[in-house]
Structures are given as C-alpha cells and as structure tokens.
Chain A
Amino acid sequence: MPKVKVPRKSTTIDMTAMCDVAFLLLSFFILTTKFKAPDVLAVTTPKSVSTKAAEQKNVVLITMDKEGKVYFQVADENPDEKAEILDAVAQAKGITLTAQEKAGFARGGAFIGVPFSKLKSYLALTADQVKNYKADGIPVDSSNNELITWIGAANTAFTGKKMNLLVKGDNDAKYPSFKGIIDALKKNEIFKFAMITDPEGVPAGTDLWKTNQNAPANKPATDD
C-alpha cells in the first residue's frame, strides 16, 4: 500500500495586506486627531441639541466650575490681545506688574481665577504652582462684579476683530454665577454669546425634529 502524502502547509501568512490596513488607519487617525488641551479646570458641560461647532478663533473663554467659581481665559493664538487685556486691567486697577508676572498670563493655557487683590501674587506663580493653587474665582456678585472689567478690556483689545465669547459651565454650577456672567456681559453691551455644550440628538416627534426632517439633511435648523 502506498503511503498517503500529507502536504505540509506553511504556517506563515502574508502580512502585507494587514500592514496596509494598519497604516491606512494610522494615517487617518494622525490626520484627524486633535489633541485634548490639558484641562486644569475640570468642567463637565451640559448637553444641547445644537449642532454648530464651537468657534476656535479669537476666543475669549469664561469658565465656570462646579462650585460656581469663574475663570477668565484668552486663546493662546492671540498673544497680543492677551497682553493688552492684562495691561488694560492692571492700569485700570492701579496694579503694577513686572515683566515676569505678565509672562504668567502670556503662558500657554493660562487663566485668571482670582480677584484683583490677589492678581499680582497669582501671576507670580509658576505653571506647576498654579496647578495646585486653590483659586477663588473672579468675583461676579452684583455688588462686586470684577468680570465686567475683564470683559471690557477684552472687548477693547479685540476691536476690529470678531471676538468669540464662549461660556463654559459645569453642570453643577449654580445659577447666580451664570447670572453674574450675564450681567457682566450686559454691562459691556455684549448681548450675544455662545455656551459650550456637548452634542445630543434631537428627541423624535418634537417640532425641531420635524423641521429637520423636512429641511435638507446637511443643513439642520437648530441655530435659527
């Protein structure tokens, strides 16, 4: 009886195709990725049905944390305005700042979260110290609303440009802080601002949902 020959098959697989796919996906992710800015202020934003992406240019960001403390921040892409705002505020309040202290605000991602009385010492802190610093927040009470000065300075600094005022608030922040921000905006004759939210689907059956169904799919009518 002849022996049955079992052909020995190779166990190596051609990896080229898999490699192609892996690198295709890799290039996609590299190109689309946008790194999360390291958040010093932990804020969980509420959800809304708005589909309009938040503005990225000429941003003045007012953050409200969960205890209702208010912080003021200018985008790093606008270093000139940033310096100008600080100068204007310091001048208006009679605070003399050294070049080193000014650098404390010019630093990337720097924010102001202290009353004017503590501004000088706050700006003198290094980046590491700021992380551990327990900021008081900018006072926004009706009796002492310091945010008015900050926004006023920002408004002047951004003259000629479209300032995008964003308010980023935490879910648990109480209304009075938000009211303080609104008041500060109103005092500066700013009646238009945007609130940063997380996207959320439109509930089915509602009026907006019906409008979106009738409208062309690529143009949802949420921001009218």
Chain B
Amino acid sequence: MAEMDTSSGGGHKKGPGVKKGKKLSTRVDLTPMVDLGFLLITFFIFTTTMSQPTAMKLFLPKDTEKPEDQNKVKASGALTLILAKDNTIFYYEGELLPDGSNFKSTGFKEVRDLIINKKRTTAPDDFVVVIKPTPDATYKNTVDILDEMTINEVKRYALVDIFDVELQLAAKSLQ
C-alpha cells in the first residue's frame, strides 16, 4: 500500500537453497603498522638535532690611536687575567709590580671566586676585568673566561693583547 519497502535484498526472503554471505571481520591486524611507526620514530629521534646551538655575543672595542680617546681604567679596580697554556690562569690586581710579586696563578675552577671577591671589594664604577690570552691559550679558554664574565655579571671587561713582560713572567712561572 502506501508503505515504503525498506528491507534490502529485493524484499523476498532467501530460500533455503541460497547461501548466506559470510560476515567478514572489519578488524585489521595493526601490528605491522605499529612496527613501522616505531621504526620511523627511532629514525627521526636519531637524526633530529634537539639542542639548537646558541650564540654568544661579543662586542669589540674600537681601536683608537689617540690616547685621549681611550678609556682610562683606574688601576686599583682592575683585575688582569692571563690565560696561559694547560688551562692555567695568571692574575694580578691593579698594576703589575716591577718585581712581579703580585703575579699569581690560579685555575678555571677557582677563577670564579676570585672574580666575585674582586667584584665585592671594589666600587662598581672602577671594577674592570682585563683578559689577556697568551698564544698558548685555546679558544675554549677564551670562551670560558668570557662566559665567566656573563655568569658573574661583570659589566666591563676587555680582551686585550698581552705584553711581553707578562708573557715572560707566565713562561717563567710555568717552568
């Protein structure tokens, strides 16, 4: 009559001789897919570079020929660090005495306390660290000491060429 025929399959019942279609399972074995997934993960983990290299900024002072343009450093507030070979550091506070008696040696582990001490005992405006790497110092030493400036928040520091006197003193002390 007015009813819609909604039953599927032509609307007639299957006869006893008609075979029933076997119901197939929709489940798929996902094990190989998981295997593949993890294989790719391992690949990407190994090839990825997680830690991005960082950049350390360094500002160089302008070389000035005229002495009146140069920044004057108050000798008493200066700490001179000389980077010698085999990770040794020589240092002196203020000006180097003619007899070299205030020329002392230290290492990279102890230098932090030295800088902190000097920083605490001098007026902030006078405090300046002068870094003088010798030709035997490595790039790592240089970066480490510049890093130490950042760590201890030394506002004023300079990378300066070494004098011969200091070089000789360092060589003598190393023997």
Residues of A within 8 A of B (CB): 12, 15-16, 18-19, 22-23, 25-26, 29-30, 32-36, 45-55, 64, 166, 169-179, 182, 185-186, 191-200, 202-203, 206-209, 211, 222-223
Contacts and interface: CB of A to CB of B under 8 A. Distances in A.
Interface in B16-53: 29-31, 33-34, 37-38, 40-41, 44-45, 47-49, 51-53
Contacts of A30: 44
Residues of B contacting A: mostly: mixed
Nearest to A168: B53
Given A51-B54, A64-B139, A175-B83, 8 more contacts: A26-B41, A46-B140, A52-B54, A171-B138, A175-B137, A182-B159, A200-B147, A207-B153
A191 B60 contact: yes
A22 B55 contact: no
Contacts of A52: 54-57
A168 B35 CA distance: 40
A18 B56 contact: no
B49 A34 contact: yes
A15 B53 contact: no
- In this complex, which of B29, B60, B116 has the most chain A Cβ atoms within 10 angstroms of its Cβ? B60
A173 B139 contact: yes
Interface of B: 29-31, 33-34, 37-38, 40-41, 44-45, 47-49, 51-63, 83, 112, 116, 119, 133-144, 146-147, 150-153, 159, 161
A198 to B, nearest CB: 7
Contact of B56 (A22, A186, A194, A209): A194
B134 A175 contact: yes
Contacts of A195: 55-58, 143
A49 B152 CA distance: 11
A197 B54 contact: yes
A186 B63 contact: yes
Nearest to A45: B53
12 contacts: A15-B31, A19-B33, A32-B48, A52-B57, A53-B52, A55-B55, A171-B139, A172-B139, A192-B60, A193-B57, A199-B51, A207-B152
B15 to A, nearest CB: 36
Contacts of A49: 147, 150-151
A70 B54 CA distance: 20
A55 to B, nearest CB: 7
B143 A22 contact: no
B56 A34 contact: no
A203 B109 CA distance: 12
A175 B139 contact: yes
B34 A15 contact: yes
Contact of A198 (B54, B57, B144, B146): B54
A170 B141 CA distance: 11
A186 B65 CA distance: 13
B55 A194 contact: yes
Given A15-B29, A30-B44, A46-B140, A174 B53 contact: no
B49 to A, nearest CB: 5
A191 B146 CA distance: 16
A198 B51 CA distance: 8
B41 A29 contact: yes
A48 B45 CA distance: 25
A193 B151 CA distance: 19
B47 A194 contact: no
Contacts of A194: 55-58
B55 A54 contact: yes
